[in-house]
Amino acid sequence: MYSIAQNHAIASEASWVWMLTSREIGSAISLLEDAGAVLVSLVDASDWESEGFRALHERLARLREDCGAEIGHLHVRQWELNAGGAE
């Protein structure tokens, strides 16, 4: 009789552990689903922002190149001015 009660207690403990584990796994799944939903909106938001930053970066790079070209033109004009003044 004692061995039956002991097996019954083990079965109850195993059931209790299973229920706790199941609940914790369910909680983890729920948290991950919530995090996944937030990540979807963050991915969409960062995609828009990264496109904006990429466009800004490309525009700044073009402006930098244009500025360099204008500096080159001004150096030529300065050289022409100095060369004409020396004559």
Given pLDDT bands bounded at 50, 70 and 90, which one contains residue 84? confident
pTM for the whole thing? 0.47
**Cα-based distances in Å from 1 to 5, 6, 7, 8, 13:** 7, 9, 10, 11, 19
Average pLDDT over residues 8-19: 75
- Is pLDDT of 6 > 60? no
Element (H, E) at 87: none
**Residues in Cβ contact with 63 at an 8 Å cutoff, skipping those fewer than 6 apart:** none
Q: What percent of the chain has pLDDT over 70?
A: 77
Given pLDDT bands bounded at 50, 70 and 90, which one contains residue 78? very high
Domain ranges within the chain, ordered by starting residue: 2-85
21-42 residue pLDDT tens = 888 888 888 888 888 888 777 7
